[in-house]
Amino acid sequence: MSTQAVKITPIGDRVLVKRLEEKEQIKGGIVIPDSAKEKPTEAEVIALGKGKKNDKGEAIAFEVKVGDRVLISKYGGTEVSYEGQKYVLLREDDLLAVIG
């Protein structure tokens, strides 16, 4: 895993992830251009917000931690760029699964 220190701190129950790039695929000798490739759905958790609070004001712990590999929807979250890197900012509820 390539966990890295990023100066972005998500707010509330938001999670900052970085999509994990799939290896370039060649089908039948044809290289698929970047514009035709699907967005990867596998990502690494880079940073967490402070979390949600229940009705009593008590913090609800995140189900994921920094460094976890997760599945996200192809078009979910908000894409952000910071220092030349692309990230996705989404709510914890938008994470689909933890891998491994």
Question: Do 41 and 21 touch, CB atoms closer than 8 A?
Answer: no
- pLDDT class of 100 with cuts at 50, 70, 90: confident
> How does 35-61 read in b/e, with b if 16+ C-beta sit within 10 Å?
eeeeeebebbbbbbbeeeeeeeeeeee
Residues 6 or more apart whose Cβ sits within 8 Å of residue 64? 15, 45, 48, 70, 92, 95, 98
77/59 Cα distance (integer angstroms): 23
Enumerate domains of the chain plus CATH numbers. Answer: 14-99 (2.30.33.40)
pLDDT digits (tens, 9 = 90+) for 35-56: 655 666 899 999 999 988 889 9
Q: Residue 7 — pLDDT band, cuts 50, 70, 90?
A: confident
Structure tokens at 100: 């491994």
Whether 17 contacts 91, CB under 8 Å: no
**Average pLDDT value over all residues in the chain:** 84
Q: What pTM was computed for the model?
A: 0.77
